[in-house]
Chain A
C-alpha cells in the first residue's frame, strides 16, 4: 500500500516540479493568473478535506474498536465531505470556464497577441491538470469509501479484521496530503 502511495506522491510531485519550472519562466503571468483563483473557496475546501481526514481516521479507529455504528456514521460524514469538496470545485471550474480561463487554444480571457496570454494559459493548464487529477482521486476515493461503507453496513469489519477500512483511510489521507501542498502553491503563492 505504501508503495502505491509513494507512486501517487511521485505522480503529483513531478507535476509540482513542472509547475515550478514554468513559474520560473513566466513569473509575472503566473502571478497575474493566480489572482483568478478564489482563496476563500480554496481555504474552505482545505478545511472540508481536513475534517474529512479526521472523520476518516475516526472511522478506522471505530473499526479497530468494533464500534460498528460509529464506523458507519464516520464513513458517511467522510463521503459527504468529499461530495462537498467536489461541489465547490464544480463552482470554481464553472466560473473559470465562463471567464475563458482554459488552457491552450481554449484560453480566451486574453487575446492571442497579448504577451501575457501564453504564460497564463500555461498556468491554467497546470491548474486544471493538477486539481483535475486530484478531483479524480477524490472521485475514486468516494467510490472506495462507498464500497467500504456497504461492507460496514453488512457488519464485515470489527477489531479482528478491518484492513480495507485501514487502506481506504491511508488512500484518503494521501489525497488530503496532496491537497495540503496543492492549495498554498496554487492559490496562495504569488
Chain B
C-alpha cells in the first residue's frame, strides 16, 4: 500500500464537499436527532406522529441532498426518489382511509360507531359496553342483562 499512498496533502477543499461542509450537515443531523428524542418525552397528542415524521423527513432530505449528492446530481435521480415517496404516500393514504371508514372493531373507530363512552381496548368488549342501559344499579349483583360477559354467573 505504501507505493500508492501518495497523499495529495496540498489538495485543499474547494467547491462542494470537504470536511467542514459535511461536518455541518452531520451536526445538523445530530441536532435534529436530539430534538426528536427530546420531543418524544412530551405528549403532543396526535401531533406526536406528525412531528416525528416531519423531523425524520428533514433529516432524510439532508442525507439525500448532501450526503447522496442529489443536490448536484442529475434531476432524474431526485425525481425517482421523490416519486417513490409519493407512491408510498398514496399507498398509506388509501390504506388509512380504508381503516378509518370500514372496520368498526378498530379501537380508533369505536368512538365513531358507539357515541357514548370513550373508546376502550379489547375487540369483543364493544358489544358488552353498549348493552347495559343506564339503570345499572343491580349490575354488580350478578343478575346480568343477558350479555355474555361473565360465564361463571350463569
Contact = CB atoms under 8 A, between A and B. Distances in A.
Q: Are A and B bound to each other?
A: yes
B81 A9 contact: yes
29 contacts: A9-B85, A16-B88, A17-B88, A21-B96, A24-B99, A25-B103, A28-B121, A46-B33, A50-B29, A53-B67, A54-B26, A56-B67, A64-B17, A67-B8, A68-B6, A70-B7, A115-B121, A154-B1, A173-B67, A176-B63, A176-B67, A180-B60, A181-B56, A181-B60, A184-B36, A184-B53, A185-B52, A185-B56, A188-B52
Contacts of A181: 53, 56, 60
A188 B42 CA distance: 11
Given A2-B80, A181-B56, A68 B17 contact: no
Interface of A: 2-3, 5-6, 9-10, 13-14, 16-17, 20-21, 24-29, 39, 43, 46-47, 50-51, 53-54, 56-58, 61, 64-70, 72, 115-116, 153-155, 169-170, 173-174, 176-177, 180-181, 183-185, 187-190
Contact of B33 (A13, A20, A47, A155): A47
B92 to A, nearest CB: 5
Contacts of A16: 88, 92
Given A53-B29, A54-B22, 10 more contacts: A3-B80, A17-B91, A21-B95, A24-B108, A50-B33, A61-B18, A67-B7, A72-B1, A174-B68, A177-B60
Say what secondary structure dominates the interface of chain A: helix
B48 A189 contact: yes
A180 B85 contact: no
A54 B63 contact: no
Contact of B84 (A9, A21, A68, A154): A9
Contacts of A190: 40, 48
A13 B91 contact: yes
Interface in B64-86: 64, 66-68, 76-77, 80-81, 84-85
Contacts of B106: 24-25
B4 A155 contact: yes
Given A27-B107, A28-B121, A153-B1, A65 B33 contact: no
Contact of A57 (B22, B49, B95, B122): B22
Contact of A10 (B49, B84, B121): B84
Given A6-B80, A21-B99, A50-B30, A184 B55 contact: yes
Contacts of B99: 21, 24-25
A69 B48 contact: no
Given A21-B99, A67-B7, A69-B7, A184 B88 contact: no
A6 B33 CA distance: 24
Contacts of A61: 17-18, 22
A68 B11 CA distance: 12
B127 interface: no
B49 A189 contact: yes
Contact of B7 (A28, A68, A176): A68
B149 to A, nearest CB: 13
B30 A184 contact: no
